[in-house]
């Protein structure tokens, strides 16, 4: 054979030249473990956010029930609907107090009181704007 064929002799190959950068330097098992840990952290974060949202909704529903009881007591005593949630804290009748403070939802925003209710004139609607903070979005809590 003439000198035109393949050259024979030792060649130096670095690990990342053979298998790719990540698998050569870090190792296939370590990359898989890192990805698994990343996915696990993401799942834990999503579960924590969902639990936080459920807790805020529970707090909001408890506040709504408290305000509805206060509105019912106000209507029974005064004979009319309260004009706002402030009137439940500072009623026109001296000595009466229906709420200790202006109610808020799980996100720290005030609850909206509509009295009489839209569909039942004998009741009151107490509404939270929900996570978005806007009554225009469809995430309101009744």
The pLDDT value recorded for residue 9 is 57
Range 132-139 average pLDDT: 68
CATH superfamily assigned to domain 15-127: Glycoprotein, Type 4 Pilin (3.30.700.10)
Q: Per residue in 52-74, pLDDT tens?
A: 989 988 888 888 888 888 888 88
The pLDDT value recorded for residue 28 is 73
Mean pLDDT lowest among 10-14, 23-27, 74-78, 109-113: 23-27
Counting Cα atoms < 13 Å in the Cβ hemisphere of 112 gives: 13
Rounded Cα–Cα distance for residues 80 and 131 (Å): 31
The pLDDT value recorded for residue 73 is 85
Mean pLDDT score of the chain, rounded to an integer? Answer: 78
Map 4-61 to HEC letters: CCCCCCCCCCCHHHHHCHHHHHCCHHHHHHHHHHHHHHHHHHHHHHHHHHHHHHHHHH
DSSP 8-state assignment for residue 95: T
Q: Per residue in 23-37, pLDDT tens?
A: 555 677 888 888 999
pTM for this entry: 0.65
């Amino acid at each position: 054979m003439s000198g035109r064929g393949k050259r024979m002799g030792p060649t130096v190959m670095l690990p990342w030249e053979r298998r790719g950068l990540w698998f050569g330097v870090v190792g296939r098992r370590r990359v898989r473990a890192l990805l698994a840990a990343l996915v696990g952290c993401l799942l834990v974060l999503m579960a924590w956010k969902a639990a936080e949202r459920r807790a805020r909704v529970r707090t909001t529903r408890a506040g709504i029930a408290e305000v509805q009881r206060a509105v019912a007591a106000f209507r029974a005593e005064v004979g009319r609907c309260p004009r706002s949630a402030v009137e439940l804290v500072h009623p026109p009748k001296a000595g009466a107090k229906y709420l200790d403070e202006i109610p808020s939802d799980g996100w720290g925003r005030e609850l909206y009181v509509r009295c009489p209710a839209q569909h039942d004139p004998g009741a009151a609607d107490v509404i939270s704007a929900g996570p978005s903070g806007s009554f225009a979005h469809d995430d309101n809590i009744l």
